Structure 1
Amino acid sequence: MASKLYLRGICALVAVGVSLSAWSAEICPTEIKTTQNAVDVPTGYGVGEDVYGPHRLQSIAVYDGLVKDMASLVPDVQKKSLARWNFSKSSSSQTREIACHYSRTRIVLTKALPVGVQSCTATFDPTILIEGSSEIKSFKCK
């Protein structure tokens, strides 16, 4: 499927950043660097490292509440190059967070959406894939 919206059971999309009038901050860094350590290495084995470079942003998931509560939201609108999440006005003061997922790592960065956000829209290019997910060209909330 060109627009892979589910990743490991979480509704997710790839994104490169955010730009909106009420909130103009980078939503997810486009790449991160991580370290990894081996634990309980069996006797007789050495530990080496593959050189992968930085981990590229692979997906964003929108949550109703805190990411730790695992209430990911399915977009209200899903098309080949667009996904939109709409939030009711009665719940505009509710906390919502996003989770930024990266290729070849289990590291996830989380960030709260501003209070009062009524919708978020992701547009993406299904011809560019990062670990099987379409690259998002924008992620905007208003």
Structure 2
Amino acid sequence: MDGQASPAALTVCRLLDGQNFMTGFLVRLQSLQRRWTLLLPLACPWVAAAATIWQDWPLPLSVEARPAPVSLPEGWQVRAQAEPCRLQSLTVFDGLPQEQAALVPETDQTLPGGRGLLSWTLTPASAAGTWVALAYSCKTLVLSRPLPASATGFRVRYDRRVRPDGLPRILGAEIRVEAEPAAGVPR
């Protein structure tokens, strides 16, 4: 080759760059006259520099809660028992949850084994950032927390087959962050 990437290589680079799909693997491209292997970081350095990875973002799948009355009628006593509350639903917000700017997932993929994957691309418009609120089966408990400012994506794994309370069981979550560049790759 003459030092220039072929049109086929540039097409692959553009496709992968648009999908944030670079993970340092080899892609085989075929032409009518020859077969060659292209190492993507060499042909598409901008893709390697913008590589992203998914990291586990732990969710409390259950919590112990104890109901407490706001007021107690005179003469009555309360005996509150702790009960396990299972994570029932998850909402992603642009800003604080009390502002109620819920984001709709961009994709809902069906995975093998009855699993599913909801995905959001994060571009917060609010100065408060992106927040996640978790609602539990005990109905009155909601936990919320901001996602890291460096997160550019969020996804939730769930089991479509297990439906306690009529909702799919949430299995876990991940955030997408920019990967550290390999040695010698400029930022």
TM-score by length of 2: 0.53
Q: 1:34 to 1:132 in 2, by over 3 A?
A: same
Question: What's the CA shift for 1:135?
Answer: 1.2
Alpha-carbon distance in 1 for matches of 2:60, 2:138? 15
**Over aligned residues, Cα RMSD in angstroms?**
2.9
Q: 1:53 to 1:103 in 2, by over 3 A?
A: same
Q: Which residue number corresponds to residue 82 of structure 1?
A: 117
**Amino acid corresponding to residue 66 of structure 2 in structure 1:** T
- Correspondence 1:56 to 2:90: no
8 Å contact from structure 1 (residues 94, 115) kept in 2: no
Q: Which residue number corresponds to residue 14 of structure 1?
A: none
Structure 2: gaps (5+ residues) = 1-52, 111-115, 177-187
Q: Spell out, residue by residue over 1:13-64, the C-alpha distance to the aligned partner (whole angstroms, 9 max, x if none).
A: xxxxxxxx675552x2121112222345557877566x67311111111111
**Aligned length in residues:** 119
Q: 1:110 to 1:36 in 2, by over 3 A?
A: same
Q: Which residue number corresponds to residue 103 of structure 1?
A: 137
Structure 1: gaps (5+ residues) = 1-20
Alpha-carbon distance in 2 for matches of 1:106, 1:74? 23
- Correspondence 1:36 to 2:70: no
Q: Larger relative CO (CA 8 A, sep 6+): 1 or 2?
A: 1
* Higher Cα radius of gyration: 2
3-state SS in 1 of match to 2:149: coil
Q: 1:41 to 1:94 in 2, by over 3 A?
A: closer
8 Å contact from structure 2 (residues 57, 172) kept in 1: no
Q: Which residue number corresponds to residue 69 of structure 1?
A: 99
